[in-house]
Amino acid sequence: MKSAGIKALTESAAKRVLARARETAPVDTGAYRDGLALDHKETAYRTVVRVVGHDKKTMLVESKTGNLARAMSAAKGGA
């Protein structure tokens, strides 16, 4: 699962989720939206790419809006 093709596919999917999350992010100061980023991690058998939030209020915003969950659903063809 560390082939170049799989890495590219994983990166592409994560970028779609990140783009959707930024598009639909609630904006007060913009810190939540601007704090969304990709986090890359290599494990023994695979490459992992996560969409994470670095703003101190990310957990609060997520608990109230579910923005990242909805972005994931939309990126794979859901709502």
pLDDT higher than 90, residue 63: yes
Cβ pair 25, 36 in contact under 8 A: yes
Paired tokens of 79: 């709502």
Q: Where are the domains of the chain?
A: 4-73
Query: Do 15 and 38 contact (CB within 8 A), yes or no?
Result: yes
38 and 79 Cβ atoms separated by less than 8 Å: no
pTM, rounded to two decimals: 0.87
Whether 1 contacts 48, CB under 8 Å: no
State residue 75's pLDDT score: 86
Average pLDDT over residues 62-72: 94
Please report how the helices 67-75 and 4-24 are oriented relative to each other, as an axis angle in degrees rounded to 10.
Answer: 130
Indicate the residue type of 59: M
